[in-house]
């Protein structure tokens, strides 16, 4: 099975999880249902701009669609970004301890 076909499978799984038909996804993207079918069956290459649009509509990430990378919640991404901007290790340590306390860990 080619990598492109895996991409298509992940697109199909996300579409179905949202309860969308190929026609409904096609409508949202302003393309034909046949093109969505071709994406899902790995018959055409998907441009990066289209992949971003698909990820947005399907509520996932391009990394997940492309490589099956685990999806990370937006809030978690923001927490990681903030944590990394704290800079100094001692401040990061305090922030991590506070998050643990808030989470009851």
Whole-model pTM: value is 0.64
Question: What distance in Å separates the CA atoms of residue 10 and residue 60, rounded to the nearest whole number?
Answer: 10
State the pLDDT at residue 1.
42
Dump strand ranges (E) for 7-56.
none
pLDDT of residue 2: 45
Q: Residue 67 corresponds to which tokens in the numbers above? A: 């490589």
- Greater model confidence, 83 or 65: 65
Average of per-residue pLDDT across 31-50: 95
For range 43-50, the mean pLDDT: 93
C-beta atoms surrounding 20 within 10 Å: 17
Residue 39 has pLDDT above 50, yes or no: yes
Phi-psi group of 36: left, alpha or beta (phi > 0 → left; psi -120 to 50 → alpha; rest → beta):
alpha
Taking residues 67-76, what's their average pLDDT? 73
Maximum C-alpha span of the chain: 55
């Amino acid at each position: 099975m080619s990598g492109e076909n895996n991409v298509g499978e992940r697109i199909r799984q996300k579409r179905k999880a949202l309860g969308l038909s190929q026609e409904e996804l096609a409508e949202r993207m302003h393309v034909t249902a046949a093109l969505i079918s071709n994406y899902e069956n790995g018959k055409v290459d998907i441009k990066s701009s289209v992949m971003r649009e698909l990820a947005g509509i399907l509520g996932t990430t391009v990394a997940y669609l492309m490589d099956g990378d685990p999806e990370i919640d937006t809030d978690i991404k923001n927490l990681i970004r903030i944590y990394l901007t704290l800079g100094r290790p001692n401040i990061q340590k305090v922030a991590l301890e506070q998050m643990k306390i808030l989470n009851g860990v």
